[in-house]
Amino acid sequence: MPLASFRIFSADDFESYLQSTQFSRVINVIQNHHTWKPAYTHLTAQRGEMYWLESMRRVHINDRKWSDIGQHITTFPSGNIASCRPIDLVPAGIRGANTGGICIEHFGNFDIGADVMTASHQETIIRLNAMLCKRFQLQPNKKTVVYHHWYDQRGIRFSDEKINTHQVGNEQKSCPGTAFFGGNTIDAAEANFFPLIESAMEQPSAKPTVHATKKVVKASALNVRLGPDKNEKILRVIKKDTEVQVYQERNGWSKISNTAEEWVFSSLLTDTQ
């Protein structure tokens, strides 16, 4: 099976994608995680959003021995949203508790004293959870919108009291962070996160916008360049059989991002089967 095709959207475009795509898997829970590392400081002009998606995938495949990147969706400080593992595949998010789940990784370290969430990122996180609740007919509550911190290493949920009185300790990571919308407890989510999701669910949906063509890399390795020219800087390298989205074609080059200047040789891509 080809590796997942990373695609970076604005929040509006992701909502349009979500509305227009059919899914076969039953979804009843939305997992919220933070990447912890990489954190905000790791995002640079040379190492942008797509670079870190590829980097996370390498770690998940090579170190954790997963078949592909673990999460379905990644959010960024810019407010952009990336589609990662196909939603119709079970995620690798909370060991023992992934059935029926959608896994979101929020790029950054949201423990107390670490990254301060940007306004754009905060808005996107709220809106994304609202989109998913609406799409899969869920009401945001402690059973449907969950944090990794609430489960033990086997995927068994801690008691509400243990979570809310900060007794989890080293039994589980702090994910999505001790400062994530006021904390990583159920009480914090009910006071500071769920009401924002409910409010966002009442807003009108975005209108459909960007369309792209899916292609597959047929070369053993494909350079992604900053512009449609062989002398432009190489941003990263994509492996054979990786799926990409083509948004624009120009003079034998294909633009594979709708949010950044990322170009590849069109002749090294082929149609999907």
pLDDT confidence tier of residue 193, bands split at 50, 70 and 90: very high
Residue 208 domain-assigned (yes or no): no
Domain final position from 201, 235, 254: 201
pLDDT tens-digit series, residues 10-48:
999 999 999 989 999 999 999 999 999 999 999 998 899
Phi and psi at 61, nearest 5°, equal: -80, -50
ω into 208 cis (within 30 of 0)? no
Asked if the structure places residue 252 within a domain, the reply is: yes
- Is 2 domain-assigned? no
Among 175, 201, 227, the domain-final residue is: 201
Which candidate, 191, 59, 186, 37, places its Cα nearest to that of 106? Answer: 37
> Which of 148, 170, 201 is where one domain is finished?
201
The model's pLDDT over 39-77, given as tens digits with 9 standing for 90+, comes to: 999 999 889 999 999 999 999 999 999 999 999 999 999
Cβ atoms within 10 Å of 153's Cβ, excluding its own: 11
d(CA 209, CA 247): 12
> Any idea what the CATH number is for the domain that residue 246 is in?
2.30.30.40
Query: Average pLDDT, stretch 75-88?
Result: 97
Token pair 């990336």: residue = 82
User: What is the extent of the structural domain holding 232?
Assistant: 213-271
**Do residues 238 and 129 both lie within one domain?**
no
Please give the model's pTM, rounded to 2 decimal places: 0.79
Of the candidates 101, 84, 88, the one whose C-alpha atom is nearest the C-alpha of residue 30 is 101
Could you tell me the strand order of the sheet in which 269-271 lies?
243-246, 213-217, 269-271
**By the 8 A CB rule, do 215 and 271 touch?**
yes
In this structure, are 218 and 170 located in the same domain? no
132 pLDDT above the threshold of 90? yes
One domain for residues 234 and 197: no
Question: Which run of H or E residues covers position 9?
Answer: strand 7-9
Which CATH number belongs to the domain containing residue 81 in this structure? 3.40.80.10
CA distance 191 to 185: 10
Q: Does 109 fall in a domain?
A: yes
> Are 266 and 139 part of one and the same domain?
no
177 and 247 inside one domain: no
Report the largest interatomic distance among the alpha carbons of the chain, rounded to a whole angstrom.
Answer: 62
Q: What is the mean pLDDT of residues 99-108?
A: 99
In a domain, 1, yes or no: no
pLDDT at 5: 86
Do 169 and 226 fall into the same domain? no
Q: Percentage of the chain surpassing pLDDT 90?
A: 85
Three-class DSSP labels, 132-186? HHHHCCCCCCCCCEEEHHHECCCCCECCHHHHHCCCCHHHCCCCCCCCHHHCCCH
Total tally of structural domains belonging to the chain: 2
Statement: residue 207 has pLDDT above 70: no
Q: Among 159-163, 171-175, 243-247, 262-266, which is the least confidently predicted range?
A: 243-247
